[in-house]
Amino acid sequence: MRELRPCLKLWVEAEGRIVMSDYRVRLLEYIDETGSLARAAANMNLSYRRAWGKVKELEENLGFPLVQSEVGGPGGGQTTLTPAGEAFVRAYARFQQRMHDQLQVAFDEEMEAMRAVEPASPGAS
Amino acid sequence: MRELRPCLKLWVEAEGRIVMSDYRVRLLEYIDETGSLARAAANMNLSYRRAWGKVKELEENLGFPLVQSEVGGPGGGQTTLTPAGEAFVRAYARFQQRMHDQLQVAFDEEMEAMRAVEPASPGAS
């Protein structure tokens, strides 16, 4: 039997609207790491405008701000996660990690179980 | 905080090609239930031709047959799952069920953890 790879896509909705996903959390994690929406956008191959739109859409759907911007200062402007944004990003990342860990375990176990009870199943022939 | 709903999409690949998904397993489960590709296709709002194409594509990507057809007989033709097809569909369904069960548990626990450590997190404001 060919080697099988289980795949997973996760997201979160509120009132049918997307408030987080594997893709979007990466953008927010880059903002957290770089302190810059421009650099986070570049890491995702997104335009600044498009990255900003994605963040604003999530905030609107969630009902609270995820990022905060400071204009000027010695290092120029900065965009960082709000405390609530940081907490939500971290919680989603942990949720994501657990699901990815579980993905391989559950798949392997059920495929094993299949082979155990089905001597005529694929791979045995 | 608005009520958040975690969502999940699962599929399986072999050599980068899709060999099963939440959508495709439903078609196969309908074939198993009805003994008829035509009825399974109708349940999925697919044309017979398109449903057949999906099954054949999966078989090609997997390298073994999932369904078998009998022509004629007292009840007319029948399409059923092969033993290997049945074993694979059942294993995928169990895998899927485990992941869906885990989805809500993992999400709820991580959201709880977030609220516990972040008194200023969303919902508290």
B125 inside domain? no
Considering only A72-76, A118-122, B84-88, B95-99, which range has the smallest mean pLDDT?
A: A118-122
B3 inside domain? no
Pick among B25, B110, B112, B117 to test the A interface (most A CBs inside 10 A): B110
Q: What is the mean pLDDT of chain A?
A: 90
- Over range B32-46, report the average pLDDT: 95
CA neighbor of A85 nearest in space, from A22, A29, A39: A29
- Please indicate whether, in this complex, the C-beta atoms of A83 and B114 are within 8 angstroms of each other: no
Which residues contact residue B121 at a Cβ distance below 8 angstroms, ignoring those fewer than 6 apart?
A: A83, A84, A87, A88, B114, B115
A2 inside domain? no
**Do B31 and A91 meet the contact criterion of CB atoms below 8 Å apart?**
no
B72 inside domain? yes
For residue B115, give the chain A residue with the closest CA. A87
pLDDT value of position A124: 46
Helix orientation angle between A83-117 and B83-117, rounded to the nearest 10 degrees: 160
**Distance (Å) from the C-alpha of residue B15 to the closest C-alpha of chain A?**
7
- Confidence label for B125 from pLDDT (cuts 50, 70 and 90): very low
Residues in A touching B15 (Cβ below 8 Å): 2-3
Residues in B touching A14 (Cβ below 8 Å): 2-5
Considering only A87-101, B13-27, B68-82, which range has the smallest mean pLDDT?
A: B68-82
B66 inside domain? yes
- Confidence label for B114 from pLDDT (cuts 50, 70 and 90): confident
Flag whether pLDDT at B120 surpasses 70: no
A5 inside domain? no
pLDDT digits (tens, 9 = 90+) for A42-71: 999 999 999 999 999 999 999 999 999 987
pLDDT value of position B123: 52
**Distance (Å) from the C-alpha of residue B47 to the closest C-alpha of chain A?**
27
DSSP for residue B9: E
CB-closest option in A13, A63, A107 to B95: A107
- Please indicate whether, in this complex, the C-beta atoms of A12 and B5 are within 8 angstroms of each other: yes
pLDDT value of position A125: 43
pLDDT value of position B124: 46
In whole angstroms, what is the distance from residue B15 CA to residue B84 CA?
A: 20
Burial A87-116 (b: 16+ CB within 10 A, else e): bbbbbbbbbbebbeebbeebbeebbeebee
pLDDT digits (tens, 9 = 90+) for A14-48: 999 999 999 999 999 999 999 999 999 999 999 99
**Do A31 and A79 meet the contact criterion of CB atoms below 8 Å apart?**
yes
Flag whether pLDDT at A79 surpasses 80: yes
A43 inside domain? yes
DSSP A2-29: PPEEEEEEEEEEETTEEEEEHHHHHHHH
pLDDT digits (tens, 9 = 90+) for B58-101: 999 999 999 999 877 666 679 999 999 999 999 999 999 999 99
Pick among B25, B96, B107 to test the A interface (most A CBs inside 10 A): B107
Flag whether pLDDT at B15 surpasses 50: yes
What number of C-beta contacts closer than 8 Å exist between A and B? 143
ipTM entry = 0.84
Q: How many CA atoms lie within 13 A of A17 on its CB side?
A: 11
B109 inside domain? yes
Count of structural domains, chain B: 1
Domain of residue A57, CATH code: 1.10.10.10
**Do A119 and A99 meet the contact criterion of CB atoms below 8 Å apart?**
no
Q: Structural domain of residue A26, as residue ranges?
A: 11-117
pLDDT value of position B6: 97
Helices (H), B35-118: 37-43, 48-62, 83-117
